[in-house]
Every structure is written in structure tokens, then in C-alpha cells.
């Protein structure tokens, strides 16, 4: 994906590409950090450390050298900004993958940046635009749209299975038994490995699945019931509590 730009002597390079629904990029890495913005559609990002979901008009930061795969949900228009390692260090950009909010200013800057020639003059308007884009990327806040994967093999298998079929009906005791652990050991190791309590991780997995299914056109009621929520209103309340908006507003 756009590795042609690795050797271009500019700190930032912006590109735009459209992808068909269900396009998949197998595991790969980039010499530069990748800021992947979903102008349209939903992107899921997978690494050995976990899964991240990028809703429309949000972005994902992928550090340089991190092995990752991508899956497009619905037709996707992606704007990428590739940032060299010296600039990453100077701006103290994150060392871990994360989903990032996108301000209206950042969205406008991205729309302009993808029109800029790769060999822009750094002392020109284009250069100043790219510098402002970098400042805005560095200022954006992370969003809670990830499901970290534990490294312990039994827990990792369990979490991968749950990501395939997430449900609030997955109970802690049943999951502990499936992993061959006592409740206490399971609880302790799960938090130590993921940084989250099992109930929090389960909610995150359901939230990622919900955003994907909503983006693919599934009705809110169907999504809510399939994921184990008591009612569509309970799902909407949980969605709003984590993301600050109702599902329809978030994906508008």
C-alpha cells in the first residue's frame, strides 16, 4: 500500500485511494508511520496485539514497522498520511496502534493534502499546509475502539473466537471453564494481559462488531439483539456512553 512513497524526501506524504467492499490487505508493514483516515466506509485493522476499528471520518495510527492487516467494510475511501521516523520522533507520535478522532479542521486538511504533489516545496503554501496537518494529527485524541489480544495462548484463542461471534451473553465463568482456568486465575490473567476486565473487553468486542454491522447496512434493532442487548434502547445507551453519540448520529 503506497510503499512507492517510502523514499520520497519529504517528512509527510498524503495519498487517497478507493477500495471495494470486503477488500483485504494481508499482514504487511511500512517503513513510515501510517495515518489511515476513513473518509467513507469502515476499516478494521488487525495486529498481533489486537483489533482496531475505524468508523467513517475517524482514523487509525499505525506505527512504522508494525505488522498489520486491513479489511474494508463497505466501499472505503481512505486518505493515508505516511510520516517518516525522524518526524515521528520529533512530534512524539504514539508508539502503539490506536484509533484517533478527526476534528473538522483535520478532515479539511486531509482533503487538501491528498491533492499536494509528493515533492512539494517545503517553504511553499503546500509545505505549510503539510506542517499544519502534522500538528493537527499530533493533537488528536485516541478513541476506545480496540480489543487488545492477550499473549497467553488459551486466552488468545478464546478472544479470537469471541471476536468472530461477540455477545454480551458470554459469561465469565463459562469463559474461564473454556480456557481451563479457575475464575480467579482467569480474571487476574485477563486483566494483566489485556489491561481490561473481561466485562470491559466483551463490551469493546461487541461495540466493534456493532459499528461494522451498522456500516454494512444492518438495522439497529437487529444488531442490538444479535449482540445480546436487552433492547435497542439499551444498545443505544451503551453506544452513547462509550462514544458520546447514538449509533445513527455516529455513522451519519
Domains defined for the chain, CATH in brackets: 3-143 (2.60.120.280), 147-250 (1.10.10.60)
| Residue 159 backbone class (left: φ over 0; alpha: ψ -120 to 50; beta: rest) | alpha
Question: Residue 249's pLDDT band (boundaries 50, 70, 90)?
Answer: confident
Average pLDDT of span 70-95: 95
**Percentage of the chain lying above the pLDDT 90 cut:** 81
| pLDDT at res. 209 | 93
Question: Residue 217's pLDDT band (boundaries 50, 70, 90)?
Answer: confident
Query: d(Cα 42, Cα 71) in Å, to the nearest integer?
Result: 9
Query: Whose grid coordinates read 476499528?
Result: 53
DSSP three-state, residue 54: strand
219 CB contacts (<8 Å, ≥6 apart)? none
187 secondary structure, DSSP code = H
Average pLDDT, the chain: 92
Question: Residue 5's pLDDT band (boundaries 50, 70, 90)?
Answer: confident
Half-sphere exposure of 225 (CA within 13 A, CB side): 4
Longest dimension (CA), the chain: 63
Pairing of strands 24-28, 68-83: antiparallel
Q: What cell does 232 get?
A: 435497542
* pLDDT over 70 (residue 3): no
Query: d(Cα 34, Cα 44) in Å, to the nearest integer?
Result: 14
Q: What is the DSSP string of 31-90?
A: SSEEEEEEEEEEEEEEETTEEEEE-TT-EEEE-TT--EEEEEEEEEEEEEEEE-HHHHHH
Amino acid at each position: 500500500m503506497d510503499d512507492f512513497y517510502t523514499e520520497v524526501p519529504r517528512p509527510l506524504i498524503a495519498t487517497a485511494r478507493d477500495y471495494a467492499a470486503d477488500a483485504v490487505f494481508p499482514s504487511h508493514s511500512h517503513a513510515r508511520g501510517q495515518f489511515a483516515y476513513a473518509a467513507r466506509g469502515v476499516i478494521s485493522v488487525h495486529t498481533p496485539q489486537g483489533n482496531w476499528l475505524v468508523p467513517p471520518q475517524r482514523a487509525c495510527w499505525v506505527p512504522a514497522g508494525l505488522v498489520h492487516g486491513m479489511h474494508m467494510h463497505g466501499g472505503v475511501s481512505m486518505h493515508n498520511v505516511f510520516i517518516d521516523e525522524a518526524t515521528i520522533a520529533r512530534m512524539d507520535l504514539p508508539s502503539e496502534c490506536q484509533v484517533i478522532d478527526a476534528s473538522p479542521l483535520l478532515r479539511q486538511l486531509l482533503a487538501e493534502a491528498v491533492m499536494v504533489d509528493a515533492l512539494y516545496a517545503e517553504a511553499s503554501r503546500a509545505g505549510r499546509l503539510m506542517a499544519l496537518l502534522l500538528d493537527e494529527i499530533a493533537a488528536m485524541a485516541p478513541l476506545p475502539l480496540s480489543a487488545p489480544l492477550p499473549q497467553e495462548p488459551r486466552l488468545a484463542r478464546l478472544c479470537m473466537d469471541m471476536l468472530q461471534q461477540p455477545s454480551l451473553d458470554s459469561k465469565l465463568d463459562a469463559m474461564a471453564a473454556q480456557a481451563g482456568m479457575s475464575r480467579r486465575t482467569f480474571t487476574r490473567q485477563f486483566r494483566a494481559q489485556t489491561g481490561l476486565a473481561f466485562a470491559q473487553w466483551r463490551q469493546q468486542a461487541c461495540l466493534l462488531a456493532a459499528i461494522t454491522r451498522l456500516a454494512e447496512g444492518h438495522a439497529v434493532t437487529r444488531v442490538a439483539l444479535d449482540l445480546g442487548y436487552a433492547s435497542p434502547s439499551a444498545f443505544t445507551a451503551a453506544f452513547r456512553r462509550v462514544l458520546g453519540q447514538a449509533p445513527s448520529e455516529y455513522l451519519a
